Amino acid sequence: MTWKKKKGETAGQEPQAASGAAAAEGLSKYKKHLKWAVPLVVVVVIAAAIAIRQAGQAQTVEVAPEYAQTSVTRRTIAQTLSTTGTLNAANSYTVKTLVQGEILSSDFEEGDEVAAGQQLYQIENSDASTNVEQAQISLDQAQRNYDTIADYRYVRSPVAGTVYTLSVKVGDEVSSGQEIAVVQDASQMVLQLTFPSADAAHFAVGQSAQITLDGTFEVLSGTITEVSGSDVLSSGNVLVRNVTITTPNAGTLNTTQSATATVNGISSTNSATFNYKEQRTLTASTAGTVASIYVPEGGAVAEDGIVLELAGDDLEETIQNAYESLRSREISMRNAQDTLSNYTITAPIDGTVIQKNVQAGESVESGKEMCVIYDMSYLEMTINIDELDINQISVGQDVAVTADSVDGTFNGKVTRVSMVGKTEGGTTTYPVTVQVEEYGALRPGMNVNAEIVVEQAADAIAVPNAAIERGDVVLVTTASPSAPNALADMVAPDGYVYVQVETGVSDENYTEITSGLQEGDIVGYVSMDTFSYDDYGSDMMVLGMIAPVLGGTQ
C-alpha cells in the first residue's frame, strides 16, 4: 500500500504532544477514582485522538516514501493449502482366532513379510476333522438317495435295442411295478446247444462255429460266447455241456427259427431255437401318470435311454423331500469344513507382521488376538479441509508431504474427497484422503505436514504482492516498456506512472500478471523495509493511547 500526504502542510508536533499529555493525565485520574467512568474516558480519548490526528494532518509536511524497485520476471507461482495429518498404513488387520485349542505351529516372526493366504498358525483340529468325515458320509448317502428317487419319474431301458411292445399311452395312470414296455436287442441272435463233454471241454470263448438252420439248411457263421463248466446227463445218457453261440442278425432270424451247429467238426447233440441277445421287460418304479413318451413302439433306444416320463403330486413331493434332505447334508458339510478351516489361520492380506502375540505351544480361547499385519504398499492420511476451500480440492491433485523427523519432501495424491462434512464451532470441514506411495523413511503414526497445490501458473509474468495497489494498478518507471499505457487520471510519484493490470494466481510473495505488464518493466512499491512509522505517527499514537485504557478496564 502506498501512503501519500498533502502538499503545503506545515509540521507541528508540539500541540500533539501537549494534548496527548493532558489526555493521559486525565485518564490516569479517572482510572484511579472512578471505574464506572471508564467508558466515558474511552470516548474522550478517542475524541482527543481524532482531534490530534486532524491537527497533525493540518500541520504535517509531506515526506516522500522510499520505493523499492524490481524487474518484472517470469516464475512459477503456486497457490497452496497447508494442513497437518497422521499417516496410516494402506490397510491393517488384527488376526483373531474363532476357535480354541493348542497352537501346533506358528512359523513366522514380527517384521516378516507375509502373503495373503499364507499359513500363520495351525491349531489342533482332530475333533473338527472327524466331524468333516462324518458329514461327508451323510452327504454321499443323501446324494445317492436323491439320484435314485429323482430318477423314479423316468422309465429307462437297461439295454440298447428296439421297443418291441409299449403297453401305455400319455395320460394313463400306472402303479409301482406295472409292466410298461419290452425292449429287444435283435441285432444279434443267441443259440444255446449241447456238445459232448469230452469235446466241449476243449472249446474256448471267441472260437468260430458254423450254424445250420433247420428246414433251409442255410449255414451261418457264429462265435462261441460262453461254455458251461459243468457236465450234465442228456436224455440219451450222454454227458454233455451247454455252449452258447452268437450270430449277427440281418433281420431274417427270429425266435421261432431252430438250428444246429458244429465246432471244429464236432456237431451239437441237439437242435434249439434262437433267442434275442437282450430282451428286457420295463416296469414303473413308482406310481404316477404317463406325462411323455420319448421312444414309441418300434423305435430304437440306447442303453440307459429314457422310454417315457411319469408325473404326479406324490412323486414330486417324494423327490422334493429327497432334495431337501440332500441340501441339508450339503449345508452340514459346508459348516463342518468351515469350522475345520478355522483351525488353520492364514494371512488375510499381503503385508508386514508388526505384532505377534501368541507362540507355538500356547493354548488360545476363541476371540484371542493372534497378530497384527500392516499393508505397507503405501501410506495414507486423512486431512480436514475448510468448507471455503473444499471446492478447490479434487481427486488426483498433488500433495507435498513433509515430516519434522524425516528429511525431504514426499509426493502424495488426493485419492478421495468426502461429500460429508463435520461441523464444529460454526465451521464445517470435509475429510480428504491423501495417498503416499514412495514414502521412504516415513512410518505409520507419524504426524506430517501436507501442502496441496490448488492453482498453479508456470512461466508466468509476476510481481511482488506489495506492488499491486487497490484497483489492480501498479507503479512502473517512466522508462518501462509498459509506461505508454499509463492511466492519465492517476497522479504518480516523480519518475513513475500507474498502469492497469489483470491478476491471476498468487502465493505468499508474488502475484501472476495476466495483462498490463511485460518483461523489462521496472515496478516500484513500498516494502516493509522502506516503510517508516515516523511518517505516520498520529495513527500509531491513537492506538497507543487507547490500548492502556482498555487494558485497565479488565
Average pLDDT per consecutive 10 residues, the chain (554 residues; last block may be shorter): 33 35 36 36 40 42 70 92 94 95 96 95 96 97 96 95 95 96 94 95 96 95 95 88 95 93 95 94 95 96 96 94 97 97 96 95 95 95 94 93 95 96 94 95 95 91 95 96 95 95 93 96 82 44 39 38
Distances (CA, A) of 245 to 186, 196, 225, 479: 15, 15, 6, 129
pLDDT attached to residue 236: 78
Contact (Cβ atoms closer than 8 angstroms) between residue 418 and residue 429: no
CB contact set of 287 (below 8 Å; sequence gap of 6+): 173, 174, 175, 176, 312, 314, 315
The amino acid occupying position 50 is: I
pLDDT attached to residue 65: 67
pLDDT attached to residue 336: 97
Note the pTM of the prediction, 2 decimals.
Answer: 0.55
Distances (CA, A) of 254 to 19, 159, 182, 184, 276: 149, 19, 16, 11, 8
pLDDT attached to residue 529: 59
| CA-based nearest residue to 463, from 505, 495, 496 | 505
d(CA 3, CA 186) in angstroms, rounded, equals 124
Contact (Cβ atoms closer than 8 angstroms) between residue 524 and residue 496: yes
d(CA 109, CA 365) in angstroms, rounded, equals 21
